[in-house]
Structure 1
C-alpha cells in the first residue's frame, strides 16, 4: 500500500439543503490507497452512498475538502471535475444507469468518448470485458432486452474500460447471483492488485470480510 492516499476526504460536511436540521455527513476524514479494496458499511440511511458520490465529485461538499493525490479537487469547475472523473475514476451505480437508446457495447464505450479515445481503440477491450463477466448477449442488443444482472455487469465493464485509478462501486453485487458476484469481486481484486484504488459500498458481510479493510459508519442521529 502506498504511503500517500490516492483519494481522501478531509473534514467533509454535506447537507442536501440549507434548511436541513443536521448534515448528512459531518467531519468525515478517511484515506483511500492504491492497491487496496475498502468496504464502506453501515445501516441504511447512514450516508454510505452519499459519501461515494462526494468522493466522485458528483455532489458538492458543504465544508472540508476532497483530495486526489494530495491536491484539493472539490473546488474545481464543473468542466474540470468532469474531466477528472473521465480520466481517473470509474463508477458503478446501484442502478446500472444504462442508456436505453444505445446498444450494450455502446454503453460500455460511453466513457471512452469523454476521454477522447477513438472507439476502435477500445472496442476489443469492451468485448473482452463482456466475455470476462459472462455477458452472453449480442453486443448490438439494447438494455431493454437484457436482465438486471446483465445490466449491472455491463455497468461494471463500462467502469473498468479505461483502467481507472479510482474505482467506486455502490452495492455492485446486490443484483447478482453468487457465481456472478464472485466474478465481480475477483475483478475488483485484480484491479487493486494492478495498483487501483477500489471503494465499495455494501450491506453484504461477505463482501466486507473480503475487502482489505472496512469503514463502518454509524446510524444517522
Structure 2
C-alpha cells in the first residue's frame, strides 16, 4: 500500500469513528549511526494522556524499571526521560517499533487486538546506516508480535520452525551489509512473567524458590547479561 493509499484509508477509518493509533515516538527518536543494539517492539497503547514518560514503554515504564534495577549505577530510582536517553546513548542502544499506525479493535493495548495500517519500513535503511549488530524483539511469533512483524512484514522473509524454536536468527550479510542477530528479548511486560515462571531456565536458576519477586529478579539478571557492555 502506498503512503497516499495508507493516508486515505486512515482518513476513512477515522471519519467512521474507528480508533486509530498513530505512533508518537518513532520519527522523534530515529536510530543513530553509532547505535549497536536495537530494542524493537510493536506500538504503544492508544491513550497516552496518563503515560508515566513520553517515550517508548512509557505507559508503565516496564522496560526502564528493569534497566534501572539491572544497572542501578546508571539509572537511579527517580530516573527521568533525560536519564533514560543518556543511558541509551552511553550504551549505543536504540529503541524503535515495527508499527507506525494501526486500528484498535477494542480499548485495550493487546497486540492481537489491533490491525496494522503501516509498518515502519524505514527501519531497513536506518539499520543499514547504523552499527547495529544485535536486535532484541520484545514479543515473539504471535499475531502482530515484534519478531514476526519485523522478520516477515518488514524484511519479507519466512519464519521457520527452527527460528521459532531457537527464538533467534542471524540475518545474512546481504540484508544490512553485515550479519545482524535477532533475538527474542524476555518481555518487559508483567503478563509475561507467568510463562517465564514455568520455563526450565527459571526453574534451574538461583532465584527459583525464593520468596521476594523471584521471577522479576530473574528477569533483571537476564537484562544484566544481555545488555552488558
Give the alignment's TM-score, normalised by structure 2. 0.30
More strand, by proportion: 1
Higher relative contact order (CA 8 A, sep 6+): 1
Give the alignment's TM-score, normalised by structure 1. 0.31
